[in-house]
Amino acid sequence: ETGVTQSPTHLIKTRGQQVTLRCSSQSGHNTVSWYQQALGQGPQFIFQYYREEENGRGNFPPRFSGLQFPNYSSELNVNALELDDSALYLCASSDGTVLREQYFGPGTRLTVT
């Protein structure tokens, strides 16, 4: 069974640029959630995709957007990067059942300069 994988591991971007982060969900999982973890903080929920549609969103602006593909992998896109977007971005997948448990990937460390 393959776990949740994320790419790239690290990324450095300049303010105002756009970035795309990728996540492959665990085998058999149809739901993907994205979280932002700033340094020294707990993760914050960005949004969730279930069967290719967004079905939940946290308190993040529209410049944070996503996609989920038919194989349930997912992308997180961030436009017009700001310095405060520097964080660890975590992807988590689950199987969509009532007692669903989220399995986290190792994260992508984004630095905005």
Which residues contribute to the site for another protein (CB under 8 A)? 4, 31, 33, 35, 40-45, 47-48, 55-58, 90, 92, 94, 98-107
Closest separation in Å from C-beta 23 to another protein: 11
Q: Which is nearer to another protein, 17 or 29 (CB)?
A: 29
Q: Which is nearer to another protein, 14 or 59 (CB)?
A: 59
Q: Which is nearer to another protein, 28 or 106 (CB)?
A: 106
Closest separation in Å from C-beta 100 to another protein: 6
DSSP letters, the chain, are ----EEE-SEEEE-TT--EEEEEEPPTT--EEEEEEE-TTS--EEEEEEETTEEEEE-S--TTEEEEE-TTS-EEEEE-S--GGG-EEEEEEEE--STT---EE---EEEEE-
Closest separation in Å from C-beta 16 to another protein: 28
